[in-house]
Structure 1
Amino acid sequence: MKRARFTEEQIIGILRENEAGAKAGELARKHGVSEGTIYAWKAKFGGMSVSEAQRLKALEDENRRLKSLLADAILDKAALNELLFKKMVGPAAMREGVAHLRTVFEISERRACSIVKADRKMVRYRSRRPPDTELRERLRGLAAERRRFGYRRLFVLLRREGELSGKNRIYRLYREEGLTVRKRRARRRAIGTRAPILVEAKANARWSLDFVHDQFAGGRRFRVLNVVDDVTRECLAAIPDTSISGRRVARELSALIARRGRPGMIVSDNGTEFTSTAILAWAEDHRVAWHYIAPGKPTQNGFVESFNGRMRDELLNETLFFGLDHARQKLAAWAEDYNTRRPHSSIGYQTPAAYAAHLNATGRPAAQCGSSTARPVATTAPSGVTNAETLVRAG
């Protein structure tokens, strides 16, 4: 604010000279001001004492200051209302908010930063990271090929190709490229307690069976019989058909045993196909322990339920089937890819086939090599099993 040339005492003194008989023109020439200024002083301070003039000046200054504060508060409130539906979390969002306020309200950077509660150094910062163009293109290509893979499995695939970047860097590029996979349903949480029963860490220790349903492009429904090895996580069979009876299940299991060997135990739900006379007779003839989970407790058959979820997410929801032969081709190709190429998180992001080969060669899981104590692999085995062949030492 510009400093006044005359104080209140000087102005009152000049007005007193005018009241004593001095003309306005003479006072103007004497003090170097215009006659209009003399008349303005007279209108404002005429008849006042020095103390009253000083009090008036103080009130005007206070009024001016309060008006300035009120205007600033109104402007800040308007700016905050402008950012009401913007999430000011993270440096990038704060930079956008500051730029938006400066454009809309034409305020300074300092004031915009104070409204957003952002550091001016952070707002002015410009990243020096390399563009990583080739890595971004390869990451987008893998994500387009594997549309339901998250950044962890994409990281494993990139590492197989020789990429040396760490997981955090891949995750940052994954987020910046907008490749995040949306979950199709809420996560289910198991309720209650489950007593773990130890299963020997070897192939064919236990198989799990279940059905998954889908439909053709014409609307006709079909079902898929899935058979999973609970220890190696291999997909042993994925058999589609419009109808699968208990006898068909028994024939497929016999063919699978002839090709792979007899399992120590089979786990399934209480579906009519698995509780039929044909299955009971088959289990007795082949001397296979068959365990049925409790009704309404699919978590007791969690291995094949998890496999069904991956199949639903990565294949059934992504593919349009035009017939039974087409479904068989797609399922066979996906099962082969699942066993030999797809990294599995629960076995250290190895493929099930590689994990099974290492397990058969060494007799121990890859993660347990060098350890003298074997740990259980399957934690939700059926209750009431006391056969020594299906139990393992717990260190």
Structure 2
Amino acid sequence: MKRSNFSEAQIIKILGSQEAGRSVSEICREHGISQGTFYNWKSKYSGMDLSQLKQMKEMEKELAQYKKIVAELTLQNTVLKDVIGKKALGPAEKRELVGYAHQEFKLSLRQACMLFHMSTSVYYYRPRRRDDSEIIEQLSGLAELYKTWGFWLMYKRLRKLHYMWNHKRVYRVYTSMRLNLRNKRKKRLPVRVKAPLLCPLGPNITWSLDFMHDTLACGRKIRTLNIIDDFSREALGIVVDSGLPARRVIRELEMLVSWRGKPEKIRSDNGPEFISAAMEEWCVENSIEWEFTQPGKPTQNSLVEHFNRTFRHDVLDRDMFDSVAELRTYANAWAWMYNNVRPHSALGYLTPTEFLLKYGKLCEFPTLQQDNNNKWDWNSLVLGVAS
């Protein structure tokens, strides 16, 4: 018989037969082994029984496990010392260190991932870039038409155009195109007592008026009279001229009332045109309450002040105009865009027209919507082409 056919338990049993009084030659002849093999077994297993043999095997197994653990820890410590100067913060850096440890120190990928606290699924993941060409095209078009719009206005506009991209994906493309507008830091102001501005419950309850000043390319000064409805933030009219006395303001208000209807209240500052006797007489005749803000407190008429800032940012500060007629054309086109295209955060990113439709209170605006014979489209106007 071959030696490989004897188990350790059989070897101990054979050695025990000698202790029972049998000769070595007889035992070797019976089992077909040489005396050298017998004495080798005796030097290794002499004096042991099966329980001791089992205990020795368990100790050898534990010792092998300990040696393996020590070897792995030593190798991991060596790897960490080698890459101690390389910070692994993101998945890409960790993936690079895992590959380095696998190639240089022959660590398995599983061990290397555990060493750098990285999931194996993250290591094997390969990102697949989506095609963002359509997003880039749409954002480029909006940025060309509406140079003062920020990210959220563009994103809400894309949603209205039925592009249902996730806002995080659009923002990633938006920032990669470097379309971010510069943030102006707000000045630190002392704590003030804030008086709430009551918003009306429907259209034609409260209108807000205010004047703005600007200069043409030739140096000629012009004024604009901005009129909005506080309920829907709708631009009711932008009157542009070199001078707007009280009689002209009354005439514009009468034209507005003739198709829009009479408001219950009008709010404005204490400008000379608003506090004139002619204006007071007109309010009494039409039973309209005129509310004046306190001097030095424009926040009491903050809705029209916000409208003024948007109008100046989008139109007056954006281009230099050569004539009153040119500015009047741009102002009318911009007012139509403001009412029908531009989303408003205060209205839940609806346009004033959509907001009125939502509440079933839409009023037609013939000056800016129905004059098809002499109407400028805002998109074409910005691109320099009349529709």
Q: Same fold (TM over 0.5)?
A: yes
Percent identity reads: 37
- Tell me, in whole angstroms, the C-alpha distance in 1 between the residues paired with 2:237 and 2:191: 30
**Alpha-carbon offset, residue 286 of structure 1:** 1.0
1:172 aligns with 2:169: no
- What CA deviation, in whole Å up to 9, does each residue of 1:307-355 have, x standing for no partner? 0011011111112211011111111110011111111111011111121
Q: Which amino acid aligns with 2:324?
A: L
How many residue pairs match? The answer is 254
- How far does residue 143 in structure 1 lie from its aligned partner after superposition? 1.4
Are the structure 2 counterparts of residues 190 and 350 from structure 1 closer, same or farther at C-alpha, using a change threshold of 3 Å? Answer: farther
Cα 1:351–1:190, aligned 2, differ >3 Å: closer, same or farther? farther
Could you tell me which residue of structure 1 aligns to residue 234 of structure 2?
Answer: 234
Alignment check: 8 A CA contact 1:190 1:299 kept: no
1:202 maps to what in 2? 202
Cα shift at 1:141: 1.8
Q: Distance in 1 between matches of 2:171 and 2:132?
A: 13
Aligned to 2:283: 283
TM-score, structure 1 as length reference: 0.59
Residue matched to 1:121: 94
With over 3 angstroms needed to count, the CA separation of the structure-2 counterparts of 1:202 and 1:113, relative to structure 1, is same
Looking at structure 2, the residues matched to 112 and 141 of structure 1 have their Cα atoms a distance apart, in angstroms, of: 46
- Structure 2 residue identity aligned to 1:246: A
- Looking at structure 2, the residues matched to 188 and 328 of structure 1 have their Cα atoms a distance apart, in angstroms, of 37
AA at the equivalent of 1:351: T
Once structures 1 and 2 are overlaid, which stretch shifts more, 209-218 or 190-199? 190-199
Aligned partner of 1:302: which letter? Answer: S
Q: How does 1:61-100 map to 2 (within 5 A)?
A: none
Correspondence list, 1:1-395, <5 A: 110=83, 113-114=86-87, 120-121=93-94, 127-183=127-183, 186=186, 191-196=191-196, 198-361=198-361
Q: Does the aligned pair in 1 maintain the 2:266–2:290 contact within 8 Å? A: yes
Displacement after TM superposition at 1:117 (Å): 7.2
- The answer on whether the counterparts of 1:217 and 1:320 sit within 8 Å (CA) in structure 2 is yes
Tell me, in whole angstroms, the C-alpha distance in 1 between the residues paired with 2:188 and 2:271.
22
Query: Residue type of the partner of 1:113?
Result: K
Assess if the C-alpha contact under 8 Å between 1:205 and 1:263 holds in 2: yes
SS of the residue corresponding to residue 214 of structure 1 reads strand
Is the 1:347–1:355 contact (alpha carbons within 8 Å) kept by the matching residues of 2?
Answer: yes
Please state whether the residue corresponding to 1:322 is helix, strand or coil: coil
Deviation at 1:122, TM superposition (A): 7.0
Q: Is the 8 A contact 2:197 2:300 kept in 1?
A: no
| Corresponding letter in the other structure for 1:203 | P
Change (3 A) 1:109 1:262: farther
Could you tell me whether the CA contact under 8 Å between 2:203 and 2:361 is conserved in 1?
Answer: no
- Offset of residue 188 of structure 1: 8.0
Q: Distance in 2 between matches of 1:232 and 1:339?
A: 9
In structure 2, distance between residues paired with 1:352 and 1:145 = 20
- TM-superposed CA distance for 1:182, in Å, is 2.1
Which sections of structure 1, spanning at least 5 residues, go unmatched? Answer: 1-107, 363-395
Name the amino acid aligned to 1:252: E
Measure how far apart 1:161 and its partner are: 2.1
Is residue 268–residue 301 contact of structure 1 (8 Å, CA) maintained in 2?
yes
Distance 1:170 1:288 in 2: 48
Structure 1 residues 223 and 232, CA gap change in structure 2 (3 angstroms) = same
Question: Does the 8 Å CA contact 2:209/2:268 hold for their aligned counterparts?
Answer: yes
Structure 1: 4+ residue segments shifted above 6 A? 116-119, 122-126, 187-190
Helix, strand or coil for the counterpart of 2:359?
helix
**CA 1:339–1:190 in 2, change beyond 3 Å: closer, same or farther?**
farther
The structural deviation recorded for 1:111 is 5.9
Unaligned runs of 5+ in 2: 1-80, 98-122, 363-387
Retained in 2: the 8 A contact 1:202–1:360? no
For residues 202 and 191 of structure 2, the distance between their equivalents in structure 1, rounded to whole angstroms, comes to 29
Task: Give, in angstroms, the shift of residue 200 of structure 1.
Answer: 3.8
The residue type paired with residue 173 of structure 1 is: V
Deviation at 1:110, TM superposition (A): 4.0
> Is the alpha carbon distance of 1:205 and 1:141 closer, same or farther for their aligned partners in structure 2, counting shifts above 3 Å?
same
**CA distance, structure 2, for counterparts of residue 189 and residue 249 of structure 1:** 35
C-alpha contact 1:270 1:293 (8 A) present in aligned 2: yes
Q: 8 Å contact 1:267–1:293 — kept in the other structure?
A: yes
What is the identity, as a one-letter code, of the residue corresponding to 1:290?
W
SS in 2 for 1:279: helix
Secondary structure, in 3 states, of the residue corresponding to 1:217?
coil
| Larger RCO, structures 1/2 (Cα 8 Å, 6+ apart) | 1
State the 1:296 CA deviation.
0.6
Aligned-pair CA distance for 1:248: 1.1
1:184 CA displacement? 5.8
Label 1:225 to 1:361 Cα distance change in 2 as closer, same or farther (>3 A).
Answer: closer
Whole-Å separation in 1 of the counterparts to 2:255 and 2:284: 16
> Cα distance 1:244–1:110, how it changes in 2: closer, same or farther (>3 A)?
farther
Could you list the per-position Cα deviations for residues 168-222 of structure 1 after superposition, in whole angstroms to 9, with x for gaps in the alignment?
A: 2212221111101124674686952234364541101100000111111112111
For 1:243 and 1:216, the matched residues in 2 are separated by 13
